[in-house]
Amino acid sequence: MSSLATDPDLIRIGNCSGFYGDRISAMRDMLEGGELDVLTGDYLAELTMLILGRDRMKDAGLGYAKTFVRQFEDCLGLALDRGVQIVVNAGGLNPAGLAVRLREVSDKLGLPATIAHVEGDDLTGRAAELGLGSPLTANAYLGAWGIVACLDAGADVVVTGRVTDASVVVGPAAAHFGWGRSDYDQLAGAVVAGHIIECGTQATGGNYSFFQEIADLTRPGFPIAEIRRDGSSIITKHDNTGGAVTVDTVEAQLMYEIQSARYAGPDATARIDSIQLSQDGPDRVLVTGVRGEAPPPQLKVSLNTLGGFRNEMEFILTGLDIEAKAELAQKQLESWLTVRPAELDWTLARLDRPDADTEERASALLRCVVRDPDPNKVGRSFSSVAVELALASYPGCSFTALPGNGSPYGIFTPGYVDAAEVPHVAVHADGTRVAIEAAAETRALADVPEPELPEPLPTGTTKNVPLGTIALARSGDKGGNANIGVWVRTDAQWRWLVHTLTTDEVQRLLPETASLRVTRHVLPNLRAVNFVVEGLLGKGVAYQARFDPQAKGLAEWLRSRNIDIPEELLA
DSSP, residue by residue, 239-257: TT-BS---HHHHHHHHTTT
Mean pLDDT in residue range 235-263: 96
In eight-state DSSP terms, residue 212 is G
- What H or E segment, with its residue span, contains residue 26? helix 26-33
Q: Does the structure show a pLDDT above 60 at 1?
A: no
Identify the CA nearest to 41 among candidates 6, 81, 88, 76. 88
Cβ-contact 468, 560 below 8 angstroms: yes
pLDDT of residue 141: 97
Q: Is 128 left (phi over 0), alpha (psi -120 to 50) or beta?
A: alpha
Q: Which amino acid is at 168?
A: V
- Read off the pLDDT band of 55 (50, 70, 90): confident
The mean per-residue pLDDT over the stretch 222-229 comes to 98
Among the listed residues 345, 314, 316, the one whose alpha carbon sits nearest the alpha carbon of residue 546 = 345
Average the pLDDT over 115-119 and give the result: 98
CB 151 within 8 A of CB 428: no
User: What share of the chain has pLDDT > 90, as a percent?
Assistant: 91
pLDDT-based confidence at 542, cuts 50/70/90? Answer: confident
> What span, in angstroms and rounded, lies between the C-alpha atoms of 14 and 41?
8
Interval 365-376 mean pLDDT: 96
Angle subtended at Cα 90 by Cα 248 and Cα 131, rounded to the nearest 5 degrees? 95
Q: What is the pLDDT of residue 3?
A: 46
Instruction: Please say whether the beta carbons of 566 and 460 come within 8 A.
Output: yes
Determine the length of the chain: 571
Report whether pLDDT(407) > 70: yes
Enumerate the β-bridge partners of residue 484: 475, 531
pLDDT at 2 > cutoff 70: no
C-alpha 290: how far from its chain's center?
22
Amino acid 74: pLDDT: 97
Mean pLDDT of 232-240: 98
- Quote the longest CA-to-CA distance of the chain: 76
pLDDT in tens, 70-95: 999 999 999 999 999 999 999 999 99
473's enclosing H/E stretch is: strand 472-478
In this predicted structure, what is the pLDDT of residue 56?
87
Q: Which CATH class is domain 304-411?
A: alpha beta
pLDDT at residue number 4: 54
CA distance 310 to 269: 38
- Rounded to 10 degrees, what is the CA torsion of 519, 523, 524, 525? -170
Q: List pLDDT tens digits, range 499-536.
A: 999 999 999 999 999 999 999 999 999 999 999 999 99
Does pLDDT of 155 surpass 80?
Answer: yes
Q: Per residue in 449-475, pLDDT tens? A: 999 999 999 989 999 999 999 999 999
Please name the residues in contact with 361: beta carbons below 8 A apart, sequence gap of 6 or more.
351, 352, 353
Which of 53-67, 72-86, 363-377 is the least confident region? 53-67
pLDDT computed for residue 547 by the predictor: 86
Q: What is the pLDDT of residue 54?
A: 84
pLDDT class of 5 with cuts at 50, 70, 90 = confident
* Cα first-last separation, the chain: 55
**Residue ranges per domain, the chain?**
10-302+414-435, 304-411, 462-569
Q: What is the mean pLDDT of the chain?
A: 95
By C-alpha distance, which of 200, 239, 167, 172 is closest to 25? 200
Is residue 113 classed as helix, strand or coil in its secondary structure?
Answer: coil
Could you tell me if 321 and 301 are in contact, meaning their C-beta atoms sit under 8 angstroms apart? no
CA-to-CA dists, residue 39 to 131, 240, 318, angstroms: 37, 19, 52
Tell me the mean pLDDT in the region 15-44: 97
Question: What b-and-e string marks burial along 83-99, b requiring 16 or more CB atoms within 10 Å of the CB?
Answer: ebbbbbbbbbbbbbbbb
